[in-house]
Amino acid sequence: MSLTELTIADAAAGLRARKFSAVELVRAHTDAIAALNPRLNAYITTTSDAALQAATHADEALAKGEAKPLTGIPLGIKDLFCTSGVRTTAASNILKNFVPPYESTVTANLLRDGAVFVGKTNLDEFAMGSANITSAFGPVENPWKRNGDDAALVPGGSSGGSAAAVAAGLAMGATGTDTGGSIRQPAAYCGIVGLKPTYGRCSRFGTIAYASSLDQAGPMARSVRDCAIMLQSMAGFDVRDSTSVNCDVPDYSAAVGRSLKGLKVGIPAEYRAEGLSAEIEAAWQRGIEWLKAAGCEIVDVSLPHTKYGLATYYIVAPAECSSNLARYDGLRFGERVPGDTLDAMYEATRRAGFGPEVRRRIMMGTYVLSAGYYDAYYLKAQKVRSLIRRDFTESFQKVDVLLTPTAPTPAFAQGEKTDDPVQMYLNDIFTVPASMAGMPAMSVPVGLGATGLPLGLQLIGRPFDEETLLAAGSALESAAGFTHRPVIRAEGAK
Amino acid sequence: MSLDPATVRRIARLARIGIDESDLPALQGELNGILGWVEQLNEVDVEGVTPMVGTGHAALRTRDDVVTDGNCRDAVLSNAPDAVGPFYTVPKVVE
């Protein structure tokens, strides 16, 4: 088997057994990036030379028996995580030459555990988008194709570069961030596993902020176990993030494959929404049967405020975005466009530096926070957000985990759904509610649809119960036996 | 609630985002589309509901009042678009 087809778990075992070296493993991935990235555009910045050097150190550590959990494992890092000395752009022109002098906590944790970073993955500008088409560095192509159709499909967003890289074998795993679905929806579109942890589980320090009450980092990989291994490293308390939660990090890998006997799985009626494709509804039904066969009890539940999740999100997230992005003023860092006055400089800088979707969200947020409209929009949305969370809290008194589709459709083509912002926002209809409530959630690939594209199911768990997601996710993964691979992938690439 | 061109201009000003007159019609249409869509929240009865301002899992905490970082002026200024010596520069704001 090609080195770019291995799981993280198998590669770590192979490195320890000296079946191949870290240099060989990393080189297989940097070669694949050189061959395929010009087409997929999954990486904004590649760090192949540094990665090969790190791999040499990894081989030394392996030789001395000092290997850590991720020693020698090539990972992609979403270009929203600050990486010391490596350009970090947030896929925006305003940060196109930004080189952070410090490391984010999540990436520092991965480096501590031996991971090798092969590059910074593409994303929607400032993580605002659901198709990875708003990047200032160009769109990412999904490595999957519809049967008999060469049309370029979107990888989902905003962590589209991470999802495409992992699916195509240009990284063994990648970090993502999820604000309203930005890990789970691209994972579903690219046929990989993506886990958004509980809000507060992974530190936000050094992650470029979009909507701070929602942003959460998480792993994206080709198996549930690999997500557990990555999360083990990424999670943990951090004094430098005031919303980081100080609770123990359990042994996530131990939850993978755990018995589900007696587990209560809720099926929320409201997710049978208008626009849900028949093939995804069928995949959902199969998922229910698989969990039943694994010993779960299936319980119908109701989350009555589900349909208000998106509208609430598109008030709260832009409001926070307008505050967070106020820092890009052309003064302290980032690009500056001169103007005759200070205000003219600000306006010219922000017009040139931000793309249309970011400008639109900043303006929406500015409006809903402005005098006279705050109560009608922002305060109202915060109250509805309370009701959305209450729906989950009440459901979790009856069930242990919820099973839903991840997205209403499989991946769509570049150029589709771009005329109307609201149509694009509807891709996140099933992922946004868990984000609003701060609950952990995971997408697992469970099969291919009629056109040959991967379909994902979402598990939503209680706060800080990522273990149940991993246990139920691994049951879905085993039952589905999802071994399909995209058309465009590293294997065979030279 | 529907935004007129003057309001769109005012929002852009508040957000310090330059816009051209030619941008206005499209921007007005898009913002109104989004605002019209979020109007659905008016159906929800929020009487007596406390606004959610966090997930409630992290309590605010204090730390010791000590210096934990510093002496990194060059690193701080390394990304300044137009630093002069140890200073940031700004356009002249006083006549």
CB A195 within 8 A of CB A202: no
Q: Domain limits of chain B?
A: 5-42
Tell me the average pLDDT of chain A.
96
Chain B, window 25-64: residues with a beta carbon less than 8 angstroms from a chain A beta carbon: 27, 30-31, 33-35, 37-38, 40-41, 44, 46, 49-55, 57-58, 60-61, 63
pLDDT attached to residue A96? 96
Provide the pLDDT for residue A493.
Answer: 45
Tell me the average pLDDT of chain B: 91
Q: Which of B54, B76, B88 sits opposite A243 (nearest CB)?
A: B54
What pLDDT, in 10s, does the model give residues A381-432?
999 999 999 999 999 999 999 999 999 999 999 988 777 788 888 889 999 9
Q: Which of A307, A130, A91, A319 is nearest to A214 (CA)?
A: A319
Interface contact B17-A350, CB threshold 8 A: yes
Q: DSSP letter at A154?
A: P
In the prediction, which pLDDT does B1 show? Answer: 60
What's the whole-number mean pLDDT along residues A11-25?
98
* H-type alpha helices, A328-395: 342-353, 356-368, 380-395
A290-312 per-position pLDDT tens digit: 999 999 999 999 999 999 999 99
User: Which of A63-72, A175-184, A442-451, B48-57 bottoms out in mean pLDDT, i.e. has the lowest?
Assistant: B48-57
B14 near A CB under 8 A: yes
| Residue from A92, A182, A233, A244 carrying the catalytic annotation | A182
Domains and CATH numbers, chain A: 3-261 (3.90.1300.10), 307-383 (no CATH)
Residue A232's pLDDT is 98
pLDDT class for A44, splitting at 50, 70, 90? very high
Q: Kindly state the average pLDDT of the residues A135-156.
A: 97
**H-helix or E-strand spanning residue B12:** helix B5-14
Kindly determine whether residue A342 and residue B40, on different chains, have CB atoms separated by under 8 Å: no
From A268's Cα to the closest Cα of chain B, the distance in A is 19
CATH topology of domain B5-42: Histone, subunit A (1.10.20)
The model's pLDDT over A231-281, given as tens digits with 9 standing for 90+, comes to: 999 999 999 999 999 999 999 999 999 999 999 999 999 999 877 889 999
List B94's β-bridge partners, or say none: none
Q: What is the pTM of this model?
A: 0.97
Partner residue opposite B55 with nearest CB, options A199, A314, A331: A199
Mean pLDDT of the region A96-110: 97
- Is residue A158 part of the annotated active site? The answer reads yes
Average pLDDT (A56-82) is: 98
Q: What is the ipTM of this complex?
A: 0.95
| B15 contacts A99? CB cut-off 8 A | no
In the residue annotation, A182 being an active-site residue is answered as yes
Contact yes or no for A338 and B58 at CB 8 A: no
Q: And the tokens for A460?
A: 């939503």
Query: Which residue does chain B place closest to A436, by CA atoms?
Result: B55
How many alpha carbons fall within 13 Å on the CB side of residue A323?
11
Please indicate whether, in this complex, the C-beta atoms of A308 and B44 are within 8 angstroms of each other: yes
DSSP state of B39: G
Distance from CA of A364 to the nearest CA of B (A): 7
**How many helices, marked H, and strands, marked E, lie in chain B?**
3, 0
Contacts with A380 from chain B: Cβ below 8 Å = 41, 46
Residue A123 confidence (pLDDT): 98
- Could you tell me how many CB contacts below 8 A there are between chain A and chain B? 161
Note whether B60 contacts A242, CB cutoff 8 Å. Answer: yes
Average pLDDT over residues A368-386: 95
Q: Among A170-174, A185-189, A275-279, A417-421, whose mean pLDDT is lowest?
A: A417-421
Burial track A438-474 (b if 16+ CB lie within 10 A, e otherwise) = bbbbbbbbbbbbeebbbbbbbbbbbbbbbbbbbbbbb
Distance from CA of A126 to the nearest CA of B (A): 16
pLDDT digits (tens, 9 = 90+) for A442-490: 999 999 999 999 999 999 999 999 999 999 999 999 999 999 999 999 9
Contact A84, A101 (CB under 8 A): yes
Q: Which of A126, A306, A366 to mutate to test the interface with B (most CBs of B within 10 A)?
A: A366
Distance of residue B53 Cα from the nearest chain A Cα, in angstroms: 7
Residues A208 and A233: beta-carbon distance below 8 Å: no
First to last CA, chain A: 15
- pLDDT computed for residue A494 by the predictor: 39
Given A21, A48, A78, A135, the catalytic residue: A78
Task: Give which of A331, A363, A382, A464 to mutate to test B binding, by max B Cβ within 10 Å.
Answer: A363
DSSP of A185-245: HHHHHHT-EEEEPPTTSB--TTBPPSSTTT-EEEEEESSHHHHHHHHHHHB---TT-TT--
The tens digit of pLDDT for each residue in B54-84 reads: 887 878 888 899 998 899 999 999 999 989 9
Q: What per-residue confidence (pLDDT) applies to A492?
A: 55
Considering only CB atoms, A200 lies closest to which of B15, B19, B58, namely B58
Check CB contact under 8 Å for A422 and B37. Answer: yes
